[in-house]
């Protein structure tokens, strides 16, 4: 286990300050709500883990990493205070994410070990970390407009371009940012500058270097209550070198969506990536990459269980000539990379990938939903790597990673409770089996319970619970 890197006294001071501030606000009892969520989860992995695919658990560098059949207990708690006023709202929440039974640990997620660019991105653990600490000033520009300052969660649309990545245990993207939102009815235009925190369980993020800095722009024009157009822009620059390279990229794109037009639904996104990588070893390669999402289907509203069928493709460019003076592999800006976007098994990320998919959603009764999906995963370019795990095979002739089937059942027995069970299985394709990566298929079972709570400290405050975590 890596020794603690962060100043633990600073963590204690932060928590003391937060407690004193909370007690002061509670004493004032002015529109303050104690709220949050507790999420408990059991996971069973078979034939893979977060660092390696296969029963041998050998990663892309040829090193055995953990075990392929972990049985995990995960817990995430978010708790704090929300204050609402006529001109100013504020939020202050802490969160804690822990895992038991894991054959990996935070030491397996250290990048650039032993250098000035060492950074930790642990997907499962965060010990008593600041979730949000923000002030919202309302009515700047228009009555609906607002300025948000401080630690905050930023997400838009389907969360693929900007999203927290909250399906895992540790939150993926948390921003220390200044964000202005100009709003009118259903339309808005948001712009911000900020920096994103690392995911190091042993360090308080306020006392550690940020992983990335960036600028974001996201807007929406709603053509109906269920559809609209959403143009966006992002600038993303790493604040550390990773294997002697540092990312400095820009993203331009647009999303068109319609959730229900007489039963028809569609979701279309196009995104272009440009920029460069700063390279300590030589010339800086330019970036020229792209990605798209094209999904459509039909909801049979008059049939029992309201079946919703969908077909689609999710694509991200790869590099046919890795190592030359141009990077053509797409990398996601600041979006969610897990869970619902690229299969519940979590073996894919939005880079050098083709995901041909079909889905069926059912609603047997209020509060109960069933999601079934098939994914056929392939490499966009055979010469490039399997982005999620990093496996690259010289002279590779195979593109098919595998076929995944997902079955998800979600049940809300009460307003503040959510129960979710899913099973995902991947039948390994020839890229895995013919290149000596592994010979086995893989599966993952998850059972999860979430309880959201809200206790107004002012009798005039809203009584319903609020969803703290996206």
- What pLDDT is stored for residue 8 in this prediction? 42
Q: In sequence order, what DSSP letters do the residues of 88-130 get, joined into one string?
A: EEEEEEEEEEEEES-S--GGGGEESTTSTT-EEB-SS-EEEEE
The answer to whether 343 and 337 are in contact (CB under 8 A) is: no
Cα 258–chain centre separation:
23
Q: What is the H or E stretch that residue 10 is in? A: helix 8-28
* Cβ count near 424 (within 10 Å): 21
HSE-up of residue 24 (Cα within 13 Å, Cβ side)? 7
The C-alpha atoms of residue 63 and residue 390 are separated, in whole angstroms, by 13
**Contact residues for 145 (Cβ-Cβ < 8 A; gap 6+):** 138, 139, 180, 181, 182, 183
pLDDT for the residue 30: 58
Domain assignments of the chain as residue spans, ordered by start: 8-456
Angle at 131 between CA 130 and CA 136, to 5 degrees: 110
Contact between 76 and 67 under an 8 Å Cβ cutoff? The reply is no
- Ramachandran bin of 463, using left for φ above 0, alpha for ψ from -120 to 50, beta for the remaining angles: alpha
Residue 398: CB partners within 8 Å, gap ≥ 6?
382, 429, 430, 431, 434, 435
For residue 176, the Cα-to-chain-centroid distance in whole angstroms is 17
DSSP secondary structure, 309-362, as one string: EEEEEEEE---SSTTSSEE-----SB---STTSS-TT----SSSEEEEEEEEEE
CA–CA distances in Å: residue 289 to residues 56, 295, 316, 352, 355: 34, 21, 8, 10, 17
pTM: 0.90
Distance CA 5, CA 190 (A): 35
- By three-state DSSP, how is residue 219 classified? strand
- Residue pair 72/168 in contact by the 8 Å Cβ criterion: no
Each of the 470 residues of the chain gets a pLDDT tens digit; together they read 444 443 344 444 555 555 455 545 544 555 899 999 999 999 999 999 999 999 999 999 999 999 999 999 999 999 999 999 889 999 999 999 999 999 999 999 998 888 878 888 899 999 999 999 999 999 988 888 999 999 999 999 999 999 988 888 999 899 999 999 999 989 999 999 999 998 888 888 877 788 999 999 999 999 999 999 999 999 999 998 887 789 999 999 999 999 999 999 999 999 999 999 998 888 899 999 999 999 999 999 999 999 999 999 999 999 999 989 999 999 999 998 766 789 999 999 999 999 999 999 999 999 999 999 999 999 999 999 999 999 999 999 999 999 999 999 999 999 999 999 999 999 999 999 999 999 999 999 999 999 999 999 865 544 444 444 33
Question: Is 397 within 8 Å of 365 (Cβ atoms)?
Answer: no
Q: What is the pLDDT of residue 18?
A: 52
Q: Is 54 helix (H, G, I), strand (E, B) or coil?
A: coil
pLDDT of amino acid 458: 67
Q: Could you tell me the maximum CA-CA distance found in the chain, to the nearest angstrom?
A: 68
Three-state SS for 253?
strand
Give the pLDDT confidence score for residue 113 in this predicted structure: 83
- What is the rounded end-to-end Cα distance, in angstroms, of the chain? 31
CATH number of 8-456: 2.40.160.100
- Could you give the angle at the alpha carbon of 12 between the alpha carbons of 11 and 18, nearest 5°? 90
Per DSSP, the three-state class of 430 is helix
């Amino acid at each position: 286990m890596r020794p603690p890197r962060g100043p633990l006294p600073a963590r204690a001071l932060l928590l003391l300050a937060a407690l004193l501030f909370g007690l002061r606000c509670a004493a004032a009892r002015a529109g303050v709500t104690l709220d949050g969520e507790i999420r408990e989860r059991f996971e069973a992995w078979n034939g893979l883990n977060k660092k390696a695919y296969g029963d041998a658990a050998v990663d892309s560098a040829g090193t055995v990493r953990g075990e392929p059949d972990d049985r995990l207990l995960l817990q995430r708690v978010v708790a704090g205070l929300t204050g609402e006023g006529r001109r100013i709202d504020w939020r202050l929440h802490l969160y804690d994410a822990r895992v038991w039974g894991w054959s990996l640990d935070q030491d397996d997620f250290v990048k650039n070990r032993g250098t000035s660019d060492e950074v930790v991105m642990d997907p499962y653990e965060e010990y008593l970390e600041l979730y949000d600490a923000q002030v919202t000033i309302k009515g700047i520009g228009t009555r609906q407009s607002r300025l948000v300052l401080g630690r905050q969660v930023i997400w838009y649309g389907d969360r693929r371009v900007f999203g927290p990545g909250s399906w895992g245990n540790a939150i993926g993207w948390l921003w220390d940012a200044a964000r202005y939102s100009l709003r009118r009815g259903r339309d808005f235009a948001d712009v911000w500058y900020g920096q994103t925190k690392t995911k190091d369980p042993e360090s308080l993020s306020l006392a550690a270097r940020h992983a990335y800095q960036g600028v974001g722009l996201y807007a929406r024009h709603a053509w109906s209550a269920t559809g609209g157009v959403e143009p966006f822009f992002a600038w993303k620059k790493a604040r550390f070198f990773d294997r002697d390279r540092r990312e400095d990229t820009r993203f331009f794109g647009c999303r068109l969506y319609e959730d229900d037009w007489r039963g028809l639904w569609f979701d279309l996104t196009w995104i272009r990536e440009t920029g460069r990588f700063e390279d300590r070893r030589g010339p800086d390669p330019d970036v020229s990459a792209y990605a798209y999402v094209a999904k459509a289907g039909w909801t049979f509203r008059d049939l029992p269980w309201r079946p919703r069928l969908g077909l689609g493709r999710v694509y991200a460019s790869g590099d046919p000539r890795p190592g030359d003076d141009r990077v053509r592999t797409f990398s996601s800006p600041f979006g969610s990379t897990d869970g619902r976007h690229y299969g519940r098994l979590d073996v894919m990320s939005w880079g050098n990938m083709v995901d041909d998919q079909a889905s069926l959603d059912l609603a047997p009764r209020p509060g109960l939903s069933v999601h079934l999906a098939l994914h056929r995963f392939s490499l966009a370019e055979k010469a490039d790597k399997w982005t999620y795990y990093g496996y690259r095979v010289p002279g590779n002739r195979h593109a098919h990673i595998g076929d995944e089937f997902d079955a998800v059942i979600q049940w809300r027995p009460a307003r503040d409770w959510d129960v979710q069970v899913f099973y995902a299985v991947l039948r390994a394709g020839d890229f895995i089996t013919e290149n000596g990566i592994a010979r086995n298929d893989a599966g993952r079972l998850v059972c999860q319970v979430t309880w959201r709570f809200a206790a107004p400290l002012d009798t005039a405050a809203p009584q319903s619970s609020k969803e703290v975590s996206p």
